[in-house]
Structure 1
Amino acid sequence: MWEVWIHNTRSGSPERRIPVSAASWNRRLGSLGSATHAFVTRGSGLPKSLINEITRGNKYTIVQRWGRHCAYAGVIRDDRAPDNSPILPLRSKEIRAALFAGRLPHGVNEYTPNGAVLTLTNRSWAGAVGAILDKGTKGGLVAGWELPIDLPADAAGGFSAEWLYEEGLSIGDMFKQVEDDGTETDLAPYLAEGDYLRYETRVQSTINVGTPFLLPSRAPGSIITNLEPGNDVEVQRTGVLGFGNGWGADRLWAYAPQTGDGIRDMPVQDVQISFPDIHDQTRLQRAVDAEFRRRNNPIRQWGLELHINTYGPAIADVGRLLDVHTFGSDRIPDGVHHLRSIGLSGDMSFKVTPEVHIYG
């Protein structure tokens, strides 16, 4: 069953369970989701001082839990409401969207003209993300900078970058550059010992977690309450022209595909994309290649609704694989179809809606 808790953002410590009358939450791959929780303040028995303390934006994170599974965790960003309202809406964003979008990887007193904030040479994607997080949290050793994030293991690889102070890049900007290189990232919330909130850093070319969960679509007792197969061609393109840093004739550029074509039997639909923070030709080409792979084929995106009373929300968490078995459909071939959840939304009911793509 659902519980909603307040945790300290910096330490992850559990502060208090709060009464909630309604919620709308959306957990997204990349930790870019958001939520609104209706905190019932009138009649809660909590003193005003405590209500004002546990709803302080940025200092506290709101977590929607099912048992020990964290379906959503978001840093509180806003709580504005009419003064006579018995409900206090707590609006939040996942940690990357809330903190890393504007957080510099250095203190304002550390700015060094012509200096490098961080230099990476031949690191894996996971190693690069770990180095960014270590830099952006001061290794957890400086008060105010620490966050309860598990760093991924370092390893050698093909990612190299030098980020300068004068570029003014945020932690989120650096994350995006690693993702542009062809990978996915996610900060998955979980409960550690003592119910402390922590985040597992996931970095993979395609994030998938656990073993596939088999779901019959029409069998008696199926937890699938709605199934809508479809293809999303809104972002589909036949070619990508990408521009990096620079001006005029000195501006870096690359294109994909470099061999063959992406047209096949479609009308031409090419796209131009800017990667202004990329200064390296090799990295720019990898970013353009990755963008072409994402865009060349239609996204086979299905609508899916699940009733989770029996299993809880963990079966459809971001990155989980779902094997949907269909039979007797007018459109979908009979058999097992492999889906991957890249987002999960819900409220306080037993219904959740995973955003799923065909996988493999």
Structure 2
Amino acid sequence: MRWSIEVHESWEGAPLLEVIDLAQSSDQKTHLSGSGSGTHVFQLRDSGLYSKTPTAAERAYVRDLFALWARKIVVRCDGETVYDGWIARRKFDPADGTLRITTVEMRAAQFRARLTYGVGGYLSGSLAVSNRSASGAARAIILRAVQWGPGFHIPIDPPPDGAGSFSASWPWYQHLTIEDLLQQVEKTGSEIYFRPYRAESGAARYETLVGQPVISTTYDLPVSAELGSVSGLADDEDGARMLTGVQYQGNGSDQDAVYAGAVWDQIFPGGQPTFPIRDVLRTAKDVTDAGVLGKIALADLRRDHKPAESQQYLLRMGDTVSAVWGRPGTLLAAKRRADEWSDGGTITHRVISCRTNLTETLDLEVERRGD
């Protein structure tokens, strides 16, 4: 397998320089939620970036090459983008000539720190969507995020528009971020994933995927008693978040607030909870529509009426297993023998996150799909 690390500029995603030969280490984690991060250590001393005695121009070039937020680190394995992170911190150690770079994925880097308006034009910041699909709502939000001028540009492909049942209004004076709006769409039961990819031009771009949930290719993993290319696979169910009902309080206060809820019968019509009542109240103060609030409550209950089954295991790349198997949203179907706990058969997991470190190992966080 061949690893590569490139520095790209952030606005258009254009490649600037391949730096794999400078890398002492590179440890990165990509996550379905866009919350991944990485740490990359580059040896600058005695590198090809400088003449024998570094000049002022060379030093300025290197500082610009690794500029905060204006540059990003893209890691690929055999041409597949496994991580795309924006430079958030840099630390040069004069003792050994190393530069330590900390990166974060685009969604965390940009949408948590971007309002629905440019600060100079806040009165134009209100946004409303009416009767759109989750994809259509996400498209409107993303287009708003980049509409104000060249400085707002991100190399991102918005999802397709579509009609649906999602409606919401976000006045400018709520001062919400783009991330706040995306999360409100997700809370109704959808997922929004910004998949990094390499365009034909070489640019590092993002494809916006919206799903309930986001699911991509399925791969079959042979898992025997020896586990083959997989290790660490175990049954781990966590009931800490299990609930029988969810009530939400939206915009407003006390008895004047917007309220909505979801109960067990909406998941299993006519059925009764299989464990004693566990109900909670949650808040979504930016939601003014009771219908949207009800969808958020129902989505929560669909997720939380059952135990969380997030797990981690290691997958070793080889002749058949490649880096693309670790892409968030990928389904991995494992053939398992019956044992003291499991009846065996095919068990399918969905990849939530993937950590890599320039070795043959994919360190995966997965969730079980189906029964």
TM-score scaled by structure 1? 0.93
Q: Matches of residues 64-75 of structure 1 in structure 2 within 5 Å?
A: 64-75=75-86
Partner of 1:167: 174
Query: How has the CA–CA distance of structure 1 residues 17 and 349 changed in structure 2, closer, same or farther, with 3 Å as cutoff?
Result: same
Structure-2 residue corresponding to 1:5: 6
Q: Distance in 2 between matches of 1:179 and 1:330?
A: 38
- Residue by residue over 1:112-144, the C-alpha shift from the partner in whole angstroms, topping out at 9 and shown as x without a partner, is 1xx662111111110111111111101xx8211
- CA distance 1:273–1:280, shift in 2 (3 Å): same
Q: Quick one: distance in 2 between partners of 1:178 and 1:214?
A: 32
Q: Which residue of 2 aligns with 1:45?
A: 48
Aligned partner of 2:23 in structure 1 is: 20
Distance, in Å, in 1 between the alignment partners of 2:338 and 2:24 is 40
Displacement after TM superposition at 1:185 (Å): 0.5
Could you tell me how far 1:219 is from its partner in structure 2?
7.0
1:69 and 1:222 mapped to 2: Cα distance?
23
Match for residue 224 of structure 1?
A: 230
Is residue 256 from structure 1 mapped to residue 274 from structure 2 by the alignment? no
Q: Name the residue aligned to 1:105.
A: 116
The gaps in structure 2 that reach 5 residues or longer are 51-58
- In the TM superposition, residue 53 of structure 1 has moved relative to its aligned partner by 1.1
Distance 1:307 1:334 in 2: 22
For structure 1, the 5+ residue unaligned runs are none
CA gap of 1:309–1:41, structure 2 versus 1, over 3 A, is farther
What is the rounded CA distance, in whole Å, between the counterparts of 1:171 and 1:31 in structure 2?
A: 13
Greater alpha carbon shift after TM alignment, 159-168 vs 84-93:
84-93
- From 150, 154, 159, the equivalent of 2:161 is 154
Aligned partner of 1:129 in structure 2 is 138
Instruction: Say which SS state the counterpart of residue 150 (structure 2) adopts.
Output: coil
Distance 2:277 2:24 in 1: 50
8 A contact 1:57–1:78 mirrored in 2: yes
State which of 287, 293, 310 in structure 2 corresponds to 1:284: 293
Amino acid of the residue matched to residue 33 of structure 1? Answer: G
- What per-residue deviation string (whole Å, max 9, x for no partner) do you get for residues 125-183 of structure 1? 10111111111101xx8211111100111111111111111010111111011101110
Residues 280, 125 of structure 1: CA spacing in aligned structure 2 closer, same or farther, 3 A cutoff? Answer: same
Amino acid at match of 1:163: W
Does the CA-based 8 Å contact 2:116-2:175 persist in structure 1?
A: no
> Per-residue displacement from partner, 1:43-78 (whole Å, max 9, x unpaired)?
222142232111111101111101221111111100
Q: Per-residue deviation at 1:90?
A: 0.9
Identity of aligned residues (%): 29
Equivalent in the alignment of 2:206: 199
Q: Secondary structure at the match of 1:234?
A: coil
Aligned partner of 1:54 in structure 2 is 65
Q: 2:251 aligns with which of 245, 250, 255?
A: 245
User: Contact (CA 8 Å) 2:116, 2:125: kept in 1 or not?
Assistant: no
Which secondary structure state, in structure 2, belongs to the residue aligned with residue 162 of structure 1? strand
Mapped contact 1:316–1:322 kept (Cα < 8 A)? no
Counterpart pick for 1:303 among 312, 318, 321: 312
Do residues 143 (structure 1) and 150 (structure 2) align?
A: yes
| Aligned match of 1:313 | 323
- Determine the structure 1 residue equivalent to 2:349: 339
Deviations 1:65-106 (A, max 9, x none): 012211111111001243324321111111010110010122
Number of aligned residue pairs: give it: 355
What is the aligned partner in structure 1 of residue 105 from structure 2? 94
Corresponding residue for residue 282 of structure 2: 273
- The AA in structure 2 aligned to 1:203 is V
Of residues 256-265 and 223-232 in structure 1, the stretch that sits farther from structure 2 once superposed is: 256-265
User: Could you say which residue in structure 1 is the equivalent of 2:94?
Assistant: 83
Aligned residue in 1 for 2:55: none
* Range with bigger deviation, 298-307 or 152-161: 298-307
Normalized against structure 2, the TM-score is what? 0.90
Aligned counterparts of 2:291 and 2:126: Cα–Cα separation in 1: 21
